[in-house]
Amino acid sequence: MRNENDLQQKVLTIIQKHNLIQKGDKIVIGVSGGPDSMCLLNCLFCLKKILDIELVACHVNHMIREEADEETKYVQVFCEEIGVPCFTKYANVTKMSQEQKLGTEEMGRKVRYEFFEEIAKKTLANKIATAHNSNDNAETVLMNLLRGSGISGLKGIEIKINKYIRPILECDRAEIEAYCKEKGLHPKIDKTNLENDYTRNKIRNQLIPYLQKDFNPNIIHTLNRLSELAGEEEEYFKEIVSKTYESLKIGENEKEVVLDLQKFNKLSKVIKGRLLLYIINKVIGTTQGIGKVHIEDIIKLCENNIGNKYLTPNKKIKIFVNKGKIFLEKLLISI
């Protein structure tokens, strides 16, 4: 019989392998009451002394389902029993999504992450842990693939981004559910996960079982391997792009970046595209709304080297060529 501590040891190994947690960290854990988050909370609680960390639980009641109050009570009672402070937020996500013209799923995510940040600040926590697992990652890779994503989308969910960590990302749903059963956690099941109203649910409930049955029974592992390889390539390209940027940069301040046009035009198309995205993000803090067509237009503008022409791909940045230089300028007032 499988030892119930196998998963805890695996999580500890994941933490050490990816350097997710350091001694003395204070960690906010997003806890819905479902199997994934209860597994994460219990694992970190059991590893608390070994890791020498403090824990804080964070729960959002979206006020959508009838069972939501029962789930909130379950999380609060569990946290009280193990002595972990629990912060709860009630948010009418349906109403908020209508007011802000966002999808319910997107609104829910926005509310959760804002609350995580709020509680991290309030409790002086330096890390935020979410309970994404390898099935979630496989679903994300497929979803991005279906949307026409590039390599960056194929890397899926990152195990660590700034203060955010995902200690059970390399654990699959089956072993998480088995751990919950063995530990007697009795997590709550969100029945909306079984409905196929959202793209992710369709991928989870229809596409992945179909691929497992008719094509590859190990599709979850295969997609996670693809994600890992894509992530390694992304890290490699990040280094190349960063070094290339320094070699092309003529000037840089809060409002603009200036590049050497001649050197830029000698680069391969792949590096040109990645470099432009890197700089756009540097100048305006996002690449949202910047598509493949925009990048190709900027590359053509630089190759043609025609003055008095400019591009505003997302109305927050202006790009133009003048006297052998490329200017990427932040627009203070959107045009």
Please give the helix or strand (H or E) that residue 127 lies within, else none: strand 127-129
Q: What is the pLDDT of residue 1?
A: 41
Indicate the pTM of the whole model: 0.85
CB 8, CB 47: distance < 8 Å: yes
Residues of the chain with pLDDT under 50: 1-2, 334-335
Please give the helix or strand (H or E) that residue 105 lies within, else none: helix 104-123
166 by DSSP, 3-state: which? coil
Among candidates 94, 113, 90, which has minimal Cα distance to 102? Answer: 94
All structural domains of the chain: 6-226 (3.40.50.620), 253-330 (3.30.465.60)
Q: What is the pLDDT of residue 335?
A: 45
| Whole-number Å distance between alpha carbons of 295 and 260 | 17
Q: What is the pLDDT of residue 4?
A: 52
CB 290, CB 313: distance < 8 Å: yes
309 by DSSP, 3-state: which? coil
| Whole-number Å distance between alpha carbons of 148 and 286 | 19
| Whole-number Å distance between alpha carbons of 296 and 302 | 10
Phi-psi region of 327 (alpha: psi -120 to 50; beta: other; left: phi over 0): beta
Among candidates 179, 82, 157, 164, which has minimal Cα distance to 130? Answer: 164
